[in-house]
Amino acid sequence: MSTRREILAVASGAAIAATGHLPKKVKSDWFGTWSAAPTTIPPGDPLILSDQTVRQVAHLSLGGDQVRLRLTNEFGETPLRIGEVRAALRKGTGTSNDRRVTFGGRGSVTVPAGTALTSDPIALPVPGGADLVVSLHLPDRTPVTTVAAFAFQENLIAAGNVTASPHIEPTATITQYLFLSGVSVSTRGSGTVVTLGDSITNGANTETNANHRWPDLLAARFRKAGIDLGVANVGISGNRLLHDPNPPAGDPAEEFAAWFGHSAPRRFDRDVLAQPGASHLVVLLGVNDLGHPGTIAPLDEVVSAEDLIWGHRQLITRAHQQGITAIGATILPFKGDTLGFYTPENAAKRQTLNRWIRTSGEYDGVIDFDRAVLDPADPERLAAAFDSGDHLHPNDAGMAAMAAAVPLKLFKKAA
């Protein structure tokens, strides 16, 4: 007997073949509204928490009448015991509408090593654009081995179990997400857009706590236009399309490269297909594949434009197999970057890949981020007004230009 998922996949595939878009869902269902893609940690002693509360802020893209959390221990080697979990709306410097979070009706939960768990539905109505505050109490000695290392959001650590307190006195402030990788909402939505990328999608180098990542700004455009899609940002700083982190022995990159995460094909099932209600995929990947070899990866990992095109084709195929619309985004210019990525050879590969993304027709749609942020006087450079200073990452204005360059017609049929 066919499963409901299989039936939906067949139906969605037929709809995409006819229209290029998923059909609108008319009943309440679960959709991803926020995500932070987890990674392991670099070698060395991990952060240890014991009888402490971690309070973290998730900026929601899509509202709903119920919420679910996804807690992760996917890179842990021992079970993760969480004594209590609370969810609340952010109100000023504190919280309101606090709710107890349960797992199978229980307030405490143990997440087995190497996996993730989803909470019971939480009766907490949330609007799109709201900040959800998630507080986890870790009663035991807990090594932090599963993280999203670059949050561009300040999160707090406090002593004891203060999960239910509207205001807490932090003992530390961190800019990572610990053990929290997803939030979904129950709503009459039509899907979730999963943005798969590297640091530019993750939010570097935007203002901390400002939610100026281009996926956040795209979600704001959706809300203004009445497009009922969530946005799940699974960008990871340093991420590559074709290779896992692989710093040469003795290279300083050994101290941070593990945070770059698995290659896109390796993490695709966990970070893309597992997103509740995933309907669209936006891929912005390839610049680190060009820039890392010879800087913080071995030279034998140098890729050609044809290699990158092959990798993109793999992502398109896997998305289409699950009835997901695949949208390609062109790689931004990076001439003069301070990280040593730019060479004339890499520039030529970027142009070849971008030409294929624009003209091949293999993606269901195209977002031309390159043209949105380039310097007209030197198209291999970021425009000065959009440059964060390293000539590779856009600043907040650049992120706004990227979000504004997304053609909403790619998504309006889901509205």
Of 152, 182, 212, the one marking the end of a domain is 182
Query: Is residue 27 situated within a structural domain?
Result: no
pLDDT for 288 beyond 70:
yes
Looking at the predicted structure, is the pLDDT value of residue 20 above 70? Answer: no
| pLDDT (average), residues 178-193 | 96
Whether residue 323 is found in the same domain as residue 399: yes
Please tell me the predicted confidence (pLDDT) of residue 413. Answer: 64
Q: Residue 175: which residues within 8 A CB-CB, separation 6 or more?
A: 150, 151, 152, 153, 154, 155, 208
User: C-alpha 412: how far from its chain's center?
Assistant: 22
At residue 269, the pLDDT reads: 98
Of 77, 147, 79, 144, give the one whose Cα is nearest residue 111: 79
Predicted local confidence at residue 375, as pLDDT: 98
Claim to verify: residue 199 and residue 328 sit in the same structural domain: yes
Determine the structural domain holding residue 212 and report its residue range: 188-414
**Residues 316-330, mean pLDDT to the nearest whole number:** 98
Looking at the structure, do residues 110 and 153 belong to the same domain, yes or no?
yes
**261 lies in a domain?**
yes
Domain membership flag for residue 1:
no
Residues 144 and 246 both lie in one domain: no
Residue 263 has pLDDT above 60, yes or no: yes
pLDDT tens digits for range 22-47: 444 435 599 999 999 999 999 999 99
The verdict on 165 and 235 lying in the same domain is no
* pLDDT for the residue numbered 28: 58
Q: Please check whether residue 239 is in contact with residue 285, taking contact to mean a CB–CB distance below 8 angstroms.
A: yes
Q: What is the pLDDT of residue 318?
A: 98
Query: Which backbone phi and psi does 167 adopt, to 5 degrees?
Result: -125, 140
Tell me: do 331 and 391 sit in the same domain: yes
Comparing CA positions, the residue from 201, 83, 236, 93 lying closest to residue 154 is: 93
Q: Is 50 exceeded by the pLDDT of residue 210?
A: yes
Domain membership flag for residue 200? yes
Task: Give the per-residue SS3 of the chain.
Answer: CCCHHHHHHHHHHHHHHHHCCCCCCCCCEEEEEEECCCECCCCCCCCEECCEEEEEEEECCCCECEEEEEEECCCCCCCEEECEEEEEEEECCEEEEEEECCECCECCEEECCCCEEECCCECCCECCCCEEEEEEEECCCEECCCEECCCCCCEEEEECCCCCCCCCCCCEEECCEECEEEEEEEECCCEEEEEEECHHHHCCCCCCCCCCCHHHHHHHHHHHHCCCEEEEECCCCCCCCCCCCCCCCCCHHHHCHHHHCCCHHHHHHHHHHCCCCEEEEEEECCHHHHHCECCCECHHHCCCHHHHHHHHHHHHHHHHHCCCEEEEECCCCCCCCCCCCCCHHHHHHHHHHHHHHHHCCCCCEEECHHHHHEECCEEEEECHHHECCCCCCECHHHHHHHHHCCCHHHCHHHC
Within a domain: 91: yes
* Cα separation, 333 vs 342, whole angstroms: 9
* Region 123-135 average pLDDT: 98
Question: Does 172 score more than 80 pLDDT?
Answer: yes
pLDDT at 189 over 90: no
Long-range (24+ apart) CB contacts under 8 A made by 302-310 are 303/242, 303/349, 304/349, 305/348, 305/349, 305/352, 305/353, 305/356, 307/242, 308/241, 308/242, 308/349, 308/353, 309/353, 309/356
- Per-residue pLDDT for 50 more than 80? yes
What pLDDT, on a 0 to 100 scale, did the predictor assign at position 15?
Answer: 38
Region 190-215: mean pLDDT is 98
* Assigned domain for 112 exists: yes
- Mean confidence (pLDDT) of the chain: 93
In a domain, 51, yes or no: yes
Q: Of 281, 105, 75, which Cα lies nearest the Cα of 181?
A: 75
Query: What residue type is 216 in one-letter code?
Result: D
My answer on whether 206 and 154 are in the same domain is no
**Residue at a domain's end among 182, 215, 238:** 182
Percent of the chain residues topping a pLDDT of 90:
91
> Does 98 share its domain with 138?
yes
Is the pLDDT at 16 greater than 50, yes or no?
Answer: no
Quick check: 219 pLDDT over 90?
Answer: yes
Residue 108: pLDDT over 70: yes
Same domain, 173 and 308: no
Cα–Cα distance, 183 to 232 (Å, whole number) = 9
Q: What average pLDDT does this structure show over 337-365?
A: 98
Count of beta carbons in the 10 Å neighbourhood of residue 17: 9
Q: Same structural domain for residues 150 and 275?
A: no
Q: Which two tokens stand for residue 166?
A: 């509207």
Confidence (pTM): 0.92
Q: How far apart are CA 221 and CA 402, in angstroms?
A: 12
The answer to the question of residue 2 being in a domain is: no
Residues 132 and 233 in one domain: no
Say what the pLDDT of residue 116 is. 98
| Token pair listed for 114 | 């190497």
Q: How confident is the model at residue 274 (pLDDT cuts 50, 70, 90)?
A: very high
CATH number (domain holding residue 293):
3.40.50.1110
86-97 mean pLDDT: 94
Of the residues 147, 165, 182, the one at which a domain ends: 182
Give pLDDT tens digits for 356-401.
999 999 999 999 999 999 999 999 999 999 999 999 999 999 999 9
272 pLDDT exceeds 60?
A: yes
Q: Are residues 170 and 213 in the same domain?
A: no
Say whether the peptide bond before residue 395 is cis (omega within 30 degrees of 0). Answer: no
pLDDT at 412: 76
Domain count, the chain: 2
Is residue 8 over pLDDT 70?
A: no
Q: Which two tokens stand for residue 316?
A: 């398109």
